[in-house]
Structure 1
């Protein structure tokens, strides 16, 4: 089952780069895996292993927090039942073939999300209670065709910190340019429920001050667009890149903690496949 789910940032906290790179890695790693595994009979060879290192650069929405640049290790493993890349794991379920060029794929997914902040991350957060990330789990489905891949995913906060839920929808298509380059533009939308938005962007009455009034978060829909790319030197060595821009919903932009209407992330990495 290809793991080409949408590149959708489910978080925008001081450590949201963890969630961003998880989904970047899913799409980038799937492209590398699909290309490198494709033998003459069309059946992928399992299992596969990969190790690498990447760098994430992200601009976050909180006021006073500058651009964050962080090195991130990459670990990939895939067989017929499991796909692991970075902090995300997928348990593959039986798919459904629809004709010669269409397929429905299903999976149970889990990932660590390092979203959240501490009060010393920025002056606007002074006096705020710490917001934590945690482990998220849910389900994903993908309709794959020769024209476009459409995917949907539901995740819930299994750690119970925000008690939030996120539903993501994405569309993407991969083009092969020559023998070595794969390019995947994508667009998506991410719905975040009121628990999620209030936890990460709300201000409690006990946290309010003159320049930070109390704020109750409501459910929101963010819009994302970007492109992923892979340059394959050979079956073992690949360079991965990703660029994404997210338009924040009004329910997030209106938070007194936020001072921008968009966020963006850049990713560059190297992967060695055994």
Structure 2
């Protein structure tokens, strides 16, 4: 099984649509995920849905934040995130891909800034690989706006993810030894910008029980889709689940 960044964005949209000061919610969901790697079929993955918003700390799915400054329109925090993107050759169906090296998931440390306005919220985030699996850096610029109705909240999102050369080369590059072993062309990836669009929906069934859904579509940049490990130009993830707000 592989997990790509679409899965991470899909479950993160759940947290964006449910953020309320002093609130905690817990649930479970399933993510349908199209992997960009060759040799993987579309797969469904069970994921926990976790969201907590406090005065000094938050948990937004795979990211924890320590708030340094917050007012009605601004939030600045230090962040620790788990980036689940990985590649396991033992799970791959492609004859050549099965002989590549493993690419491991990793933890990232960084910071995030949010600016909230009547027309929506802006997010700016930057983090680096704390476990030195890729040694890479990730960035994100995003706009989102919760649209609240009586029981339904819709949150459209537009964003772009930045991945530096080290990150992309670790997850999508092919070394000389791998090329000789597999027959795949040697490949070195550069840095990239990955645009995405998403939509999250949250429906309140009772005072505490909610239905959640989110979908994310990304267009893969050239430095990713040109890799011999990749066999598509875009990627899609859909998350559905239920959560309980305490």
How far apart are residue 20 of structure 1 and its match?
4.7
* Residue 183 (1) aligns with residue 168 (2): no
Distance 1:206 1:218 in 2: 19
Give 2:173's aligned residue.
202
Higher mean alpha-carbon deviation, 164-173 vs 197-206, is at 164-173
Kindly tell me: are residues 200 and 22 of structure 1, through their superposed partners in 2, closer, same or farther at Cα, counting changes over 3 Å? closer
User: Mapping of 1:230-269 within 5 angstroms?
Assistant: 230-269=202-241
2:187 corresponds to which residue? Answer: 215
Q: Which residue of 2 aligns with 1:31?
A: 17
| Separation of aligned partners in 2, 1:23 and 1:107 | 19
TM-score, normalising length: structure 2: 0.92
1:173 pairs with 2:145: yes
In 1, Cα distance between equivalents of 2:13 and 2:99: 38
Give the counterpart of 2:87 among 94, 113, 117: 117
Alpha carbons 1:169, 1:189 under 8 Å: kept: yes
> Aligned pairs, how many?
243
For residues 61 and 86 of structure 2, what CA distance do their matches in structure 1 show?
Answer: 19
Shift of 1:256: 0.5
Q: Per-residue CA shift, 1:6-63, capped at 9, x if unaligned?
A: xxxxxxx9133xx6555444432343343xxxxxxxxx4x3x3322110011001111
Aligned-pair distance for 1:187? 0.9
Find 2:63's aligned residue among 88, 95, 103: 88
Q: Structure 2: how far apart are the matches of 1:270 and 1:167?
A: 29
Q: Does residue 229 of the first structure (1) align with residue 198 of the second (2)?
A: no
Alignment correspondent of 2:44 = 69
Separation (CA, whole Å) in 1 of partners of 2:169 and 2:69: 37
The secondary structure found in structure 1 opposite 2:49 is: strand
- Give the alignment partner of residue 153 of structure 1, picking from 120, 125, 128: 125
Bigger Cα displacement from structure 2, 230-239 vs 88-97: 88-97
Single out whichever of 67-76 and 245-254 deviates more from structure 2: 67-76
TM-score normalized by structure 1? Answer: 0.83
Unaligned runs of 5+ in 2: none
Q: CA deviation at 1:94?
A: 1.3
Tell whether the 8 Å contact from 1:131 to 1:200 is kept in structure 2 after alignment: yes
Structure 1 residues 78-120: Cα deviation after superposition (integer angstroms, max 9, x where no partner):
32111114332111121255xxxxx121111111122111222
CA distance 1:118–1:26, change in 2 (3 Å): closer
* Residue of 3, 6, 26 corresponding to 1:15: 3
Which 5+ residue runs of structure 1 have no aligned equivalent?
1-12, 35-43, 98-102
SS at match of 2:197: strand
State the alpha-carbon separation in 1 of the partners of residues 146 and 219 from structure 2.
23
Q: How large is the RMSD of aligned CA atoms in angstroms?
A: 1.8
Distance in 2, Cα, partners of 1:77 & 1:172: 19
In the other structure, the counterpart of 1:5 is none
